[in-house]
Structure 1
Amino acid sequence: MFESLSQRLSSTVERLRGRGRLTEANIRESMREVRIALLEADVALPVVQALIQRVQVRAIGQEVMKSLTPGQALIKVVRDELTVVMGAVNTDLNLAAAPPAIVLVAGLQGAGKTTTVAKLARFLRERKKKKVMVVSCDVYRPAAIEQLRTLAGQVEVLFHPSSAGQAPIDIAAAALDAAKKNFADVLIVDTAGRLHVDSEMMDEIKALHASLDPVETLFVVDAMTGQDAANTAKAFADALPLTGVVLTKTDGDARGGAALSVRYITGRPIKFVGAGEKTDALEPFHPDRLAQRILGMGDVLSLVEEVERKVDQEQVQKLAEKVIKGKRFDLNDMKTQLEQMVNMGGMASLIDKLPGMGGMSEQVKSKVNDKQVHHMIAIINSMTKKERRHPDLLKGSRRARVARGSGQQPADVNRLLKQYQQMEKMMSKLGSGGLKGMMRQMKGAMKGMGGPGGFTR
């Protein structure tokens, strides 16, 4: 999400970063480029106008013009105003109610509502340690109830059965009773969607809302619909007391207009974003972090949180102990590291969160894919256990066999073994000299590239 907008904004503000002084003329010129970039990203026109006006007022004032580093000051202003437009801070779910806290999920058909219910259930079970029950009140879409039953089993939460012959209000009442009997902390109710907003749909969901009195009413909307996402959310917000919005399919939306428009148009906060089909692909929405990513500043906080959550800490500890004891880093260890990278969402996901990568061209980003990582894992899988423990055994005929077994070329096997040798060499230095020894090695490598402690210019 935001690839095209990020590149345009990053290049615009980068031109101003090194300027000793800014004038009203070049600020206005920059704002014109920012306006075009936002409109191309399918951001709603009222949002663009409000954002540009606020940035210009602050930029032409003393805050930027009198700054010692006006270019950097302007970037800060743009970041701050982007954050304000998207909602300033993350708004968490309000589950402060007598159990079960009821979460009602609404949205149009095809927005990913049922999948989002499962993702949210997993999020609450794993990260909030809640006992969750889900129920489907969608008696119109074929197999909707069965889909939720399957997903509930996958994410290991309670499922309350329902059938197409029941009335949605009766289903909800029975589910609430079952949630109380099972001592569930949260009950998530999936509602029926339509292809468009209609009065019949609104009347049904209003009746459901009145009977359940949920603590959270979330509207699920497809980010790829751009400005229409904000307009649809507005229609629901006018009819229902929405407490928040969930943006889905953000991984398929390169523009990001919906994320920048929804909060301003509806007045409701974006609480979560979904980026992928897997049930763990749901993240809390942090406007400040996203604003930094749009401007190419990265998102280190989210990266750290992701590492803590997705990396197998036990495996990390085992490898650390192995290296410290001076034991050899082998191909099994390398495979574990590659698998950890895949679990983190792959190279593209990591690059997106690293500072300074926002300005990377699409051509370069497209080359950074996870196919190579999967190919490397396949090559290691084609080796015998003995070969993985003793890579020195992999000579000509063995390498040819491994290449055939993994569907790769002998050159690919050679390349992997060369990368392994580099990693093994680095690990052995770390083991023999500890962290200080590693730092000395790095410092020596930097000196070799010029200068006493860094690169030559």
Structure 2
Amino acid sequence: MAFESLAERLQDTLKKIRGKGKVSEQDVKEMMREVRLALLEADVNFKVVKQFIANVKEKALGQEVMKSLTPGQQVIKVVNEELTALMGGEQSKIAVASKPPTVVMMVGLQGAGKTTTTAKLANHLRKKHNRNPILVAADIYRPAAIKQLETLGKQLNMPVFSLGDQVSPVEIAKQAIERAKEAHHDYVLIDTAGRLHIDEELMDELQQVKEVAKPDEILLVVDAMTGQDAVNVAESFHEQLDVSGVVLTKLDGDTRGGAALSVKAVTNTPIKFAGMGEKIDQLEPFHPERMASRILGMGDVLTLIEKAQSTVDEEKARELEKKMRTMDFTFDDFLEQLDQVRSMGPLDELLGMMPGMNKAKGLKNLQVDEKQISRVEAIVRSMTKQEKQDPSIINASRRRRIAKGSGTAIQDVNRLLKQFEEMKKMMKQMTNMAGKAKKKGKGFGGFKMPF
């Protein structure tokens, strides 16, 4: 997860104050010292840290907080609000021109993931907003940049406008917009050239493209892994091009998160999207309040729900719920459910969105073993149709055959069968409890998922 070490430091610090019935000025000062260190270690710009600490301290020591019934929780609320404000306050959406097409210029240094992000954005606009974008290959300098965009366009079944690498980017942009109007494309995404560093030549050319294309949006693609350098890059581009938004890439990597927390404050330019993985559909709108919530260990239920809504078939979900209630849940249903959950993204990422998961006992450093899940899948797929429907018929010889077919041990098969029965009982309990809406729950007897 992005911000992993920062999240851990902040959560440990805030834990000390969370349950306090009384909070002294000294408590707040000590907490802010820890928060300051955590932010500086995460490579957040020192001016940004200074301002953040001052804002939190002022509000946390206010009468409203100190005299409230749960001052510890109020202090955490203040930290959450200030962290959200630091990253932009609320989601900033992509521009929509009053008269189509909407022209978006993608700019940034070489290696930040600009070309891939251009394709990801086109995919997002089509899937989530029902738009009809055209990709424009205007990076004529980097070897294979045009080819890369064309390959991505083919993968997405989306048009790519190119005039090769012998025509100027200014002319390419001009003709691409004309083509978009003729073919009724409502978004034009121009992939411009980058360099390994900011230079005059690059900026002059981008200024010329800007003059001709008259973009409604200039999105700066920044590699979150570069830390403080990302902020310097954002500042330079913004000064010379008046950037309207930032896309942070590689936010799923082992990044300290300083760029995301600094870039908005330093440039006053909103983060509009975040790249959360290498796959073409792993670009998400950036929600400051959700990210702040995740950093502080409060989960991100809204994103989790949105992921589920976009991947889970409602009719199948209702059918599954009925099966769970009546204990008709089979291994076929289990496989189907596993596929749907997997299509939502990596499981440890999904668990990270659930409130309290990272603080729950034994789950703080939870790593979901995808290989183990694959083994479980192999065992189920090695069963006959009849065995999947009625596991009670699986005797010793059948277990040997399933173990051999799935490349696992008989003990693995036995364990899965036992846990599957426990899971069915647990589901029955849960649906009964939900039906009765009882507040008293007895837990589930140490049940473990079968992977």
- Any unmatched runs of 5+ in structure 2? 446-451
The match for 1:312 is 313
Q: Are 1:376 and 2:372 counterparts?
A: no
The match for 1:90 is 91
Root-mean-square deviation (CA, aligned residues, Å) is: 2.3
Residue identity matched to 1:351: L
The match for 1:265 is 266
Measured against aligned partners, the alpha-carbon deviations of 1:92-120 in whole angstroms (never above 9, x if no partner) come to 01113311111110111111111111111
The match for 1:228 is 229
Partner of 2:284, secondary structure, is strand
- The 1:42–1:447 alpha-carbon spacing in structure 2 relative to 1, beyond 3 Å, is closer
Q: Distance in 1 between matches of 2:328 and 2:357?
A: 34
Q: Distance in 1 between matches of 2:402 and 2:364?
A: 30
The match for 2:448 is none
Partner of 1:357, secondary structure, is coil
Q: Distance in 2 between matches of 1:54 and 1:328?
A: 56
- The 1:362–1:421 alpha-carbon spacing in structure 2 relative to 1, beyond 3 Å, is closer
Partner of 1:236, secondary structure, is helix
Q: Distance in 2 between matches of 1:124 and 1:422?
A: 43
Asked if the contact 1:97–1:215 (Cα under 8 Å) also holds between the matched residues in 2, the reply is: no
Asked if the contact 2:358–2:365 (Cα under 8 Å) also holds between the matched residues in 1, the reply is: no
- Any unmatched runs of 5+ in structure 1? 450-457
After TM superposition, the structure 1 = structure 2 runs for residues 25-104 of structure 1, keeping only pairs within 5 Å, are: 25-104=26-105
Q: Distance in 1 between matches of 2:115 and 2:372?
A: 33
How much does 1:263 deviate? 0.1
Asked if the contact 1:429–1:437 (Cα under 8 Å) also holds between the matched residues in 2, the reply is: yes
Q: Are 1:148 and 2:139 counterparts?
A: no
Residue identity matched to 1:387: E
The match for 2:345 is 345
The match for 1:455 is none
- The 1:248–1:437 alpha-carbon spacing in structure 2 relative to 1, beyond 3 Å, is closer
Asked if the contact 1:294–1:358 (Cα under 8 Å) also holds between the matched residues in 2, the reply is: no
Measured against aligned partners, the alpha-carbon deviations of 1:62-121 in whole angstroms (never above 9, x if no partner) come to 132222211111101111111111110000011133111111101111111111111111
Higher mean displacement: 372-381 or 28-37: 372-381
Residue identity matched to 2:418: K
Q: Distance in 1 between matches of 2:27 and 2:129?
A: 48
Asked if the contact 1:348–1:365 (Cα under 8 Å) also holds between the matched residues in 2, the reply is: no
Q: Distance in 1 between matches of 2:444 and 2:235?
A: 60
The match for 2:240 is 239
Residue identity matched to 2:369: N
The match for 1:446 is 442
Residue identity matched to 1:172: A
- The 1:436–1:83 alpha-carbon spacing in structure 2 relative to 1, beyond 3 Å, is same
Q: Distance in 2 between matches of 1:179 and 1:441?
A: 56
After TM superposition, the structure 1 = structure 2 runs for residues 111-122 of structure 1, keeping only pairs within 5 Å, are: 111-122=112-123
Asked if the contact 1:145–1:162 (Cα under 8 Å) also holds between the matched residues in 2, the reply is: no
After TM superposition, the structure 1 = structure 2 runs for residues 100-249 of structure 1, keeping only pairs within 5 Å, are: 100-249=101-250
How much does 1:278 deviate? 0.7
Higher mean displacement: 360-369 or 337-346: 360-369
Q: Distance in 1 between matches of 2:394 and 2:250?
A: 44
Partner of 1:251, secondary structure, is coil
How much does 1:57 deviate? 1.2
Measured against aligned partners, the alpha-carbon deviations of 1:314-341 in whole angstroms (never above 9, x if no partner) come to 43234245556x5832111001111112
Partner of 2:134, secondary structure, is strand
Higher mean displacement: 418-427 or 303-312: 418-427
The match for 1:389 is 389
Asked if the contact 1:7–1:359 (Cα under 8 Å) also holds between the matched residues in 2, the reply is: no
Residue identity matched to 2:331: L
How much does 1:5 deviate? 1.1
- The 1:392–1:232 alpha-carbon spacing in structure 2 relative to 1, beyond 3 Å, is same
Q: Distance in 2 between matches of 1:265 and 1:178?
A: 37
Higher mean displacement: 253-262 or 73-82: 253-262
- The 1:319–1:393 alpha-carbon spacing in structure 2 relative to 1, beyond 3 Å, is same
Q: Distance in 1 between matches of 2:438 and 2:64?
A: 41
Q: Distance in 1 between matches of 2:370 and 2:404?
A: 21
Partner of 1:365, secondary structure, is coil
Partner of 1:90, secondary structure, is coil
- The 1:47–1:448 alpha-carbon spacing in structure 2 relative to 1, beyond 3 Å, is closer
Higher mean displacement: 315-324 or 216-225: 315-324
Residue identity matched to 1:131: N
TM-score (structure 1 length as normaliser): 0.91
Q: Distance in 1 between matches of 2:45 and 2:242?
A: 23
Partner of 1:253, secondary structure, is coil
Measured against aligned partners, the alpha-carbon deviations of 1:187-244 in whole angstroms (never above 9, x if no partner) come to 1111111111111111111111111001010000000111111111111001102110
TM-score (structure 2 length as normaliser): 0.92
- The 1:135–1:22 alpha-carbon spacing in structure 2 relative to 1, beyond 3 Å, is same
Higher mean displacement: 351-360 or 218-227: 351-360
Asked if the contact 1:330–1:424 (Cα under 8 Å) also holds between the matched residues in 2, the reply is: no
The match for 1:452 is none
Residue identity matched to 2:187: V
How much does 1:2 deviate? 1.3
Residue identity matched to 1:160: F
How much does 1:122 deviate? 0.9
Partner of 2:273, secondary structure, is strand
Asked if the contact 1:220–1:245 (Cα under 8 Å) also holds between the matched residues in 2, the reply is: yes
Residue identity matched to 1:274: G
Q: Distance in 1 between matches of 2:180 and 2:443?
A: 65
Higher mean displacement: 387-396 or 304-313: 387-396
Asked if the contact 2:291–2:300 (Cα under 8 Å) also holds between the matched residues in 1, the reply is: yes
- The 1:198–1:350 alpha-carbon spacing in structure 2 relative to 1, beyond 3 Å, is same
